[in-house]
Amino acid sequence: MSTQGGDWQMREPRSDEGARDIAARSGGWVRSGERRKAPRAGGADGSRELSMVPPADFTSYYGRPVLKPPAWKDDVAFYIFLGGLAAGSSLLGAGADLTGRPSLRRAGRLGALGSLALGASFLIRDLGRPERLINMLRVVKPTSPMNLGAWILTAFGPGVAVAAASELMPPRLRRTLAGRALAGLGRPAGLASAAIAPAVASYTAALISQTAVPAWHEAHPELPFIFTGSSAASAGGLGMLVATPADAGPARLLALYGALVELAASESVQRRLGLVAEAFTSGEAGANLQRARWLTIGGVLGGTLLGRRSRLAAVASGAALLAGGFYQRLGLFRAGVASTADPKYTIVPQRARLERRDTTPSA
C-alpha cells in the first residue's frame, strides 16, 4: 500500500524465519524500490537482532550505594578475633595436657576462658541486650549460621570453664573431695571443648559470607581457611608468649601451620576476586591487612628460628602473632563495610556473572 506521491510503501512482515530483509521482518518503512543490506546471522549477544546501541557502562543512581552497610560495629570484629583465639587456645591446651606440658596447658586453658569471656562481652554489647543471645536458643535452625553459632558457643563454653577452673583451684581446695573431682574433670572437659573448637573458629566465616556484602560474599571459599588459620596462629602466639620455651614447641608448630594457611588463603583472595579485591587492598582495610601480613610473617619467623633459644624472642614473636590476628579480622571486617559503600563492587560482578551465564551453551 502506497502513501501520497508513491514515495513510501509499507511492506508486509514475512513469516519465514530466514527473511533477509530486516525491514520485512520488523514491518518497518522503506523507500520504494530500495533494499537494505541483510544483517549478520545474529547479534553479539547470540540473538538474531543486532544491538543498535553500545553496551552500557557501569553507573548507579547518582553514584549512591545499592546496599546498606552492615549494622554491625567493630565490636563484631573484636568478637570474631577473640572467639577464634579461644578456639585455638582450647585446642592447644588439650594437646598440651595429653603430652605433659603443664605451662602450655595452663596458658591454653586460661587463654581460652579469658578470650571467650571478653569476646562474649563484645558480642552482647553489639546485640544491645543480653537476652537477645539467649533468645537465639529457642529454636534450632540449621540454615541459619547465626543460630548455629549460638548453639556452638553454648556447647563450647562449659568445657572451657571447667578446664580453666581446674587450673585456678588453690592448693587447699585441690586436696578436698570436690577439688579432686574438679581436677579429674579438667581433662575430659578440655578435650570436649577442643572437639568443638574448629566449629567455633570457622562458623563466623560462614556467618559473614552468607550476607549480601560483596567483599565477604565473593571471598566465601577462602574465608574459612583465613579464619581458622588466623585462629591457630594467634593461639600459637599466645602459647609462645605465656608458656616456657621448653613447653612451647607445639605452640610454635601451630603458629607456623596457621600462618601458612592464612597467608595462602589471603593471597588467593587478592588474586581471584578481580575488581572486588580492591576492597581488601585499599583504604583503611588494606592498611590493616598489610599490617597483619607483616606482623604474622615476622612473628612466625621469629618464633620458629629464635623462640626456642631466646625467651625475649618468643615473647616478641607471640605478641606479633596476636597483633597480626587482630588486624587480620579488623581488616576483613572493614573491607566488607567499604565494599557496600561503592556500588561498583555489587553491580559489576553481577553483570559479569550474567554475561558468563548467557554465553555458556545450554546442555
SS3 string, the chain, reads CECHHHCEEECCCCCCCCCCCHHHHHCCEEECCCCCCCCCCCCCCCCCCCCCCCCCCCCCHHHCCCCCCCCCCHHHHHHHHHHHHHHHHHHHHHHHHHHCCHHHHHHHHHHHHHHHHHHHHHHHHHHCCCHHHHHHHHCCCCCCHHHHHHHHHHHHHHHHHHHHHHHHCCHHHHCCHHHHHHHHHHHHHHHHHHHHHHHHHHHHHHHHHCCCCHHHHHCCCCHHHHHHHHHHHHHHHHHHHHCCCCCCHHHHHHHHHHHHHHHHHHHHHHHHCHHHHHHHHCHHHHHHHHHHHHHHHHHHHHHHHHCCCCHHHHHHHHHHHHHHHHHHHHHHHHHHHHHHHCCHHHHHHHHHHHHHHHHCCCC
Interatomic CA distance for residues 232 and 238, integer angstroms: 10
Q: What is the pLDDT of residue 48?
A: 56
Residue 124's pLDDT is 87
Nearest to 84 by CA among 158, 137, 153: 153
Each residue's pLDDT, cut to its tens digit, for the chain (363 residues) gives 444 544 444 444 444 444 444 444 444 444 444 444 444 444 555 555 555 555 555 555 666 777 788 888 889 999 999 999 999 999 999 999 999 999 999 999 999 999 999 999 998 888 887 777 778 888 888 888 888 888 999 999 999 999 999 998 888 888 888 888 888 898 999 999 999 999 999 999 999 998 889 999 889 999 999 999 999 999 999 999 999 988 999 999 999 999 999 999 999 998 988 888 899 999 999 999 999 999 999 999 999 999 888 999 999 999 999 999 999 999 999 999 988 888 877 777 777 777 777 776 665
CA distances from 79 to 82, 85, 126, 329, 341 (A): 5, 10, 9, 9, 23
The confidence score (pLDDT) of residue 256 equals 95
Distance, in Å, from the CA atom of 139 to the CA atom of 53, rounded to the nearest integer, reads 53
What domains does the chain contain, in order, with CATH numbers?
A: 74-341 (1.20.1630.10)
Cα 238 from Cα 231, distance rounded (Å): 11
Burial zone of 287 (CB within 10 Å; 0-12 exposed, 13-18 middle, 19+ buried):
middle
pLDDT attached to residue 289: 95
What's the confidence (pLDDT) of residue 300?
Answer: 95
Residue whose C-alpha is closest to residue 59's, from 342, 338, 277, 275: 342
In whole angstroms, what is the distance from residue 201 CA to residue 134 CA? 20
Q: Which residue, among 194, 168, 185, has the nearest Cα to 96 in the 3D structure?
A: 194
pLDDT at residue 171 in the model = 82
Provide the pLDDT for residue 51.
Answer: 56
